[in-house]
């Protein structure tokens, strides 16, 4: 891992496991009377949101505040910053203000990469979701949730997801969550299958480290976790699928389909859910569904990422190690 977190593909297996292990420790802080750690005291982090996402922003904000960072929220409504120069201007402004890290959400794929590599700003950049490209912290919190549920909270420490069969269902084409998850789950040793109508699978998917299927029913019995991706209703108008009803009949998860999954298998969703379309209320509210857990885990995972990137003198996860210091 470099000084930025742009893509889940940039993480090595050891980096990812370290983040998940650290997130487990962070999770324990949530049980304490004082849910705060001093690790980022005196550091200023800007949440630069060019695209609305209250959930992701408050998750990062909670993580930053629990680590005692100073937080600046910058939210630009989509249309007013459609012109690219404002990204550069904003970056240079933040640089001048001495911001120590930028968490960026942008509707344009590659905007965080550009921010990290353009020389506009020197601070580490954390991608909080860019266009249809990547959303690495989402993939990390998903992997964290899977490891807890499928391997175990303590038993999972130090371990990856070797051999776990993970199925991603839905709009793979437009999904940054799918891209990040395929990359990270593969790195962690899982066997990934994406399931979608052929219209919602990108041309070029054949080089991805996953299987592709158009048939959900045959995949379910072979899944340890099924993650449903959000399907926007507008896609219907662009002829990606005929009707909502047909989509949910072929690719939606209802109780009957859930029964085809192995007993231990879990149902995941990055949220927000479109109930009735990709998931029925019955499934969403069942105890196999981890949606609420995922939200909580998001804070722990983001705390881990922030600590490992910004907690030391050089933001480099690969260097992290237990240090037996003389400093007793």
**In the complex, which residues of this chain contact another protein (CB under 8 A)?**
18, 21-22, 25-26, 28, 32-34, 36-39, 67, 82-85, 87-88, 106-111, 113-114, 117-118, 130-134, 176, 179, 202-208, 307-317, 319-328
Helix (H, G, I), strand (E, B) or coil at 117: helix
Structure tokens at 73: 């929220």
Place of tokens 């001048």: 96
- Measured from the CB atom, the residue of 20 and 291 that comes closer to another protein is 20
- Measured from the CB atom, the residue of 198 and 328 that comes closer to another protein is 328
DSSP summary character for residue 230: P
Do 227 and 182 contact (CB within 8 A), yes or no? no
Distance in Å, CB of 66 to another protein, minimum: 11
Distance in Å, CB of 316 to another protein, minimum: 6
DSSP summary character for residue 53: -
CA dihedral of 304, 10, 137, 156, whole degrees rounded to 10: -60
CA separation for the pair 286, 11 (Å, rounded): 33
CA separation for the pair 214, 15 (Å, rounded): 33
- Measured from the CB atom, the residue of 168 and 220 that comes closer to another protein is 168
Residues in the annotated binding site for carbamoyl phosphate? 55-56, 105, 135, 138, 271-272
For residue 37, count other CB atoms closer than 10 A to its CB: 17
The rounded radius of gyration (Å) of the Cα atoms in the chain is: 20
Residues in the annotated binding site for L-aspartate? 83, 176, 230
CA separation for the pair 194, 232 (Å, rounded): 18
- Measured from the CB atom, the residue of 22 and 167 that comes closer to another protein is 22
Do 189 and 202 contact (CB within 8 A), yes or no? no
- Measured from the CB atom, the residue of 212 and 288 that comes closer to another protein is 212
Distance in Å, CB of 308 to another protein, minimum: 5
Distance in Å, CB of 113 to another protein, minimum: 5
CA separation for the pair 269, 284 (Å, rounded): 9
Distance in Å, CB of 321 to another protein, minimum: 6
Residues in the annotated binding site? 55-56, 83, 105, 135, 138, 176, 230, 271-272
Could you give the strand order of the β-sheet that contains 225-228, starting from the edge strand earlier in sequence?
211-213, 191-195, 165-169, 225-228, 266-268
Beta bridge mates, 77: none
Helix (H, G, I), strand (E, B) or coil at 158: coil
- Measured from the CB atom, the residue of 163 and 312 that comes closer to another protein is 312
- Measured from the CB atom, the residue of 58 and 212 that comes closer to another protein is 212
């Amino acid at each position: 891992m470099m000084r930025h977190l742009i893509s889940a593909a940039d993480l090595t297996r050891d980096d990812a496991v370290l983040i998940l292990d650290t997130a487990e420790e962070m999770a324990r802080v949530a049980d304490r009377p004082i849910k705060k750690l001093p690790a980022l005291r005196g550091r200023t982090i800007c949440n630069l949101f060019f695209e609305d996402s209250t959930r992701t922003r408050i998750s990062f904000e909670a993580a930053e505040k629990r680590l005692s960072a100073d937080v600046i929220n910058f939210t630009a409504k989509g249309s007013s910053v459609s012109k690219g120069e404002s990204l550069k201007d904003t970056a240079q402004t933040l640089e001048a203000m001495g911001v120590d890290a930028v968490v960026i959400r942008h509707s344009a794929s590659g905007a965080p990469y550009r921010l990290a590599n353009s020389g506009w700003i020197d601070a580490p950049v954390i991608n909080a979701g860019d266009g249809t490209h990547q959303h690495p912290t989402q993939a990390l919190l998903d992997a964290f949730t899977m490891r807890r549920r499928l391997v175990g909270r303590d038993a999972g420490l130090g371990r990856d997801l070797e051999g776990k069969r993970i199925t991603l269902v839905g709009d793979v084409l437009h999904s940054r969550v799918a891209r990040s998850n395929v990359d990270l789950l593969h790195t962690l040793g899982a066997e990934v299958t994406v399931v979608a109508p052929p219209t919602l699978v990108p041309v070029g998917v054949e080089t991805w480290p996953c299987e592709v299927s158009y048939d959900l029913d045959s995949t379910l019995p072979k899944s340890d976790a099924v993650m449903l991706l959000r399907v926007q209703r507008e896609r219907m108008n662009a002829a990606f699928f005929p009707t909502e009803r047909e989509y949910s009949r072929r690719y939606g998860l209802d109780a009957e389909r859930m029964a085809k999954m192995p007993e231990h298998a879990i149902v995941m969703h990055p949220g927000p859910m479109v109930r009735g379309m990709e998931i029925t209320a019955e499934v969403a509210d069942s105890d196999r569904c981890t949606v609420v857990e995922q939200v909580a885990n998001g804070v722990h995972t983001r705390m881990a990422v922030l600590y490992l990137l910004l907690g030391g003198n050089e933001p480099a996860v690969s260097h992290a190690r237990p240090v037996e210091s003389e400093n007793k």
